[in-house]
Amino acid sequence: MSRIVLNGGTVLTMDDDGSVHPEGHVVIEQDRIVQVGAGDAPSRSGDVVIDTSGQLVMPGLVDLHYHTAIGKGYSDHLPLWEYLDTCWYPLIRNLDAEAAYWAAAASYMESIRSGVTTVNDMYRRLPDLARAARDIGIRAVLSNDVALAEHDLDTLEDNLAAHREVDGWGDGRIQVYVGIEWLPLADPGLLRDARALADELDTGIHIHLNESLTEVQDSVKRFGKRPTEVAYEAGLLGPDCIAAHCVWLSDVEIALMRETGTHISHNPSSNAKLGNGIARLPEMLEAGINVGLGHDAAECNNSRDPFQVMKFASLMHRAARVDPSLQQAPDVVRMATRNGAAALKHDTGQLAVGRKADVITLDLRNEMFTPLIHGDPDHLYSHLVFSANGSCVDSSIIDGQIVMRERRLLNLDQDEILAKANEAFQRVLDRIRP
């Protein structure tokens, strides 16, 4: 297999020392980074040498809370609970294999084109999602939408079957976690069973927690405790657990997250669009909780662009707290790279020798990065969080394979994905309309 040599770009490593190389190199062999540093790296016969002059080379972004989406922009004017009951659940209950595949392909395509190299995707029909992830080349952690049987979603048996079938596909790029939809469709017994299954399979857990006030109120009414307290007593939380949203955490619940080492996915743009509130991110970080970023779903966000999520993750908290010192740009980029990778226990999120080769390049010869003080990391971080969007992403390398070059997907045909995704949505929509 040929080495890939990236020469001449500004290399933002996100490593432990925060190293930035204004004219640097990254060398990849198979699925690993083998050299990072200043200047050009010498090439060998047969190497794939990419001139990244005028570009930023950085770790791929990790979308830590993700749902494949089939119906972006459809009936999205409703509050969360009403939207779920009238739109989201009917759509995902009526998926067929091809609809799930093309919805996932369209979702992953938009993510790749926006700089994402890893998705933590909770949805249904995991084998079809796994086919799409394998074919397009993205790194994907998949989990089922598990709920109590009467809600007609997925069961732990479905999750077990998916793990047996597709975990490890794509040379290990595809993993299967145990997923729990949310506590209003579950109970403590299901949470205990989910923990037991995750332990048996030696895999992780993905769950929504404390997303809305109505969820908290429902939990207190049904169980006499708040959602995170219920999850804690059921043994669900832990360093292998990713809790999404966590908008309405009490001080006690923040302490439980810290005690158990549970990771949190902060999804500010989705929370804002649904009117669910603003999470207590400063308190989470002060407690030492590892927090990554997610877009949630395009149905309740309308964009999978992680740069938009990064901007929200800073501005919302500054506005709400009247404090411009919060969520400085380097910290936010760290949340989108290193923190997300750490939550999933992946060797990604930074450009360092021995790490997995998930690398993206961005065009710095763009109005979004103008003006730019050459060699000034603070200026660069500011543009990444407050100015850039996914359209500035030029190329993507995932697991040592080039999956996008000069904004062109290499593994699947973009026009076919768009056409098939449109057909899939119309087919599923026809099933749910009266």
Place of tokens 């760290």: 334
Report pLDDT digits (tens) over 99-154: 999 999 999 999 999 999 999 999 999 999 999 999 999 999 999 999 999 999 99
Is residue 261 predicted with pLDDT exceeding 90? yes
The pLDDT confidence band at residue 253, using thresholds 50, 70 and 90, is: very high
Q: How far apart are CA 27 and CA 304, in angstroms?
A: 29
Three-state secondary structure call for residue 278: coil
Cβ count near 295 (within 10 Å): 32
Is residue 409 predicted with pLDDT exceeding 70? yes
Q: How far apart are CA 185 and CA 397, in angstroms?
A: 38
pLDDT at 350: 98
Is residue 434 predicted with pLDDT exceeding 80? no
pLDDT at 88: 86
The pLDDT confidence band at residue 86, using thresholds 50, 70 and 90, is: confident
Is residue 299 predicted with pLDDT exceeding 90? no
Average pLDDT estimate for 81-97: 88
Nearest to 184 by CA among 67, 85, 262, 294: 85
Question: How many percent of the chain have pLDDT more than 90?
Answer: 92
Q: For the chain, what is the mean pLDDT?
A: 96
pTM of the model: 0.97
Three-state secondary structure call for residue 125: coil
Report pLDDT digits (tens) over 193-252: 999 999 999 999 999 999 999 999 999 999 999 999 999 999 999 999 999 999 999 999
Nearest to 158 by CA among 170, 142, 138: 142
pLDDT at 2: 81
Q: How far is CA 410 from CA 136, 288, 393, 400, in A?
A: 8, 40, 15, 14
Considering only residues 253 and 76, tell me which one the structure prediction assigns the higher pLDDT: 253
Q: How far apart are CA 182 and CA 321, in angstroms?
A: 29
Is residue 1 predicted with pLDDT exceeding 70? no
Report pLDDT digits (tens) over 331-342: 999 999 999 999
Rg of the chain over Cα atoms, rounded to whole angstroms, equals 21
